[in-house]
């Protein structure tokens, strides 16, 4: 398999992009609107947020999208470990620091196990005050 500068093989990046597209479409059908996609903090070791969405009531929703080929080893949910959650929270704080006022926030996850598998949307998947919970 050929590797690209980002470090991720092209097929994996494309699969991730398709999963994000699918998650975005699902969330928009549920009434959320897109604020930003693939928000990254500057520098190494920072965080990334796949989707930043807004609920109709104004709640800002930070969404992690995970897809795994199978449910083995805990599937997509298990891949959002404590380190990943800490990075998401770090990126969310960085994003919020640029806002004029502090909106209500929530951390959600969209999980897909298997290629084209069932999509599960977990609202309030974890809390910023305890990124070790899930």
Alpha helices by DSSP H, listed for the chain, are 10-29, 75-78, 82-96
Structure tokens that stand for 91 in this block: 């990126």
Q: Which two tokens stand for residue 62?
A: 């930070």
Q: State residue 7's pLDDT score.
A: 56
Relative to beta strand 119-126, strand 48-54 is unpaired
User: CB-hemisphere CA count at 13 Å for 124?
Assistant: 3
Looking at the domain that runs over 10-125, which CATH code has it been given? 3.40.1350.10
Q: What is the pLDDT of residue 57?
A: 97
Provide the pLDDT for residue 72: 62
For the chain (length 134 residues), average pLDDT per consecutive 10?
53 81 97 97 84 97 88 73 90 92 94 83 88 50
Distance CA 123, CA 48 (A): 19
**Can you give the pLDDT at residue 128?**
84
Instruction: Quote the pTM value.
Output: 0.84
Task: Specify which residues 130 forms β-bridges with.
Answer: 127
Residue pair 126/85 in contact by the 8 Å Cβ criterion: yes
State the pLDDT at residue 2. Answer: 45
Give SS3 for 126.
Answer: strand
pLDDT at residue number 1: 43
- Strands (DSSP E) contained in the chain are 33-40, 48-54, 60-68, 105-113, 119-126
Domain spans of the chain?
10-125
Q: Look at the alpha carbons of 43, 46, 53, 78 in this order and tell me if their dihedral is positive or negative.
A: positive
Q: Are strands 60-68 and 105-113 parallel, antiparallel or unpaired?
A: parallel
């Amino acid at each position: 398999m050929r590797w690209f500068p980002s470090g991720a093989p092209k097929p994996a990046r494309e699969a991730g992009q398709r999963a994000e597209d699918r998650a975005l479409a699902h969330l928009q059908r549920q009434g959320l609107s897109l604020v930003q996609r693939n928000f990254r903090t500057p520098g190494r070791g920072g965080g990334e947020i796949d989707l930043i969405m807004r609920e109709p009531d104004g709640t800002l929703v930070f969404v992690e999208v995970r897809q795994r080929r199978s449910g083995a080893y805990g599937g997509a949910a298990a891949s959002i470990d404590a380190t990943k959650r800490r990075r998401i929270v770090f990126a969310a704080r960085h994003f919020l620091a640029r806002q004029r006022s502090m909106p209500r926030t929530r951390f959600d996850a969209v999980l897909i196990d298997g290629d084209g598998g069932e999509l599960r949307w977990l609202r309030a998947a974890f809390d910023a005050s305890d990124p070790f919970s899930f």
